[in-house]
Copies of this chain bind each other. A is one copy, B any other.
């Protein structure tokens, strides 16, 4: 077997240097880059264009919190059961970033990359994509929301921030065409939700689709830090346990 190689960073045991993707961490990253820049850099190996940085920051903030969501419940219950191991609750909460919650960015990102790479006329591609999904009875990622209808205000705001910073390319154009075709084929309006918008925006920023769910992990982890801290002083866990205790047990039918 060929020896494995990594291009992320130098090993701990190499005390002569501390390198991240070819850059000296101590002098060229620390004190020079913001966290968001460093995250973009370690994932892509490239510096983000300074004009696009505020868009990247917005993309990383928008999923940080939405109150006592299932991810927050899980993080808080686990924090309550493992005092002194704060990292476990936070981590377990972020594991829920899958197909159902938030994790659909990767799906939307891949779809749009495919669409643009296909070279097809956007409306043609969008129609085919929507019809194909309908035939396979598959939902398109990034559309629909249980509460926001007809629009997700986070989508509108992210798109506005993108425009303000000159981020306005083929992926954003394509996601809107896709949305129109989806409405046409399904005969009703489906909200382009925040993860759909993020799929398009992150493609514009050159952030890889495969890393989009990871970006959501970083973002939500930040919010869950706040929830686990609050739980320690002002817990919601007892209320959930009381609520659980009231769920009726029934013998087999």
Contact = CB atoms under 8 A, between A and B. Distances in A.
Interface of A: 1, 3-15, 18-22, 25-27, 29-31, 33-36, 38-39, 42-43, 45, 54, 57-58, 60-62, 64-74, 77-78, 80-83, 85-88, 90-92, 94-101, 103, 106, 146-148, 153-154, 157-158, 160-161, 164, 208, 210-211, 213-219, 221-230, 232, 234-245, 247-253
5 contacts: A1-B239, A6-B227, A6-B247, A31-B54, A42-B223
A248 B106 CA distance: 30
Contacts of A146: 12
Contacts of A71: 81
Q: 8 shortest A-B CB distances, which residue pairs?
A: A214-B225, A11-B67, A68-B244, A81-B96, A91-B91, A22-B251, A4-B236, A13-B245
B250 A5 contact: yes
Contact of A86 (B8, B69, B214, B253): B214
A7 B81 contact: no
B74 A98 contact: no
Nearest to A213: B86
Given A157-B26, A240-B243, A218 B216 contact: no
B81 A101 contact: yes
Contacts of A6: 67-68, 227, 230, 234, 236, 247-250
Instruction: Report how many copies the assembly holds.
Output: 4
Contacts of A234: 4-7
A252 B21 CA distance: 6
A252 B68 contact: no
A64 B38 CA distance: 9
A77 B70 contact: yes
A3 B246 CA distance: 10
B34 A90 contact: no
A84 B92 CA distance: 17
- Name, among A14, A39, A157, A232, the residue most crowded by chain B CB atoms within 10 Å (CB to CB): A39
Contacts of A83: 99-100
B247 A239 contact: yes
Contacts of A7: 230, 234, 249-253
Contacts of A36: 34-36
A43 B94 contact: no
Given A38-B222, A243-B243, 4 more contacts: A35-B39, A43-B226, A81-B96, A87-B94
A210 B89 CA distance: 13
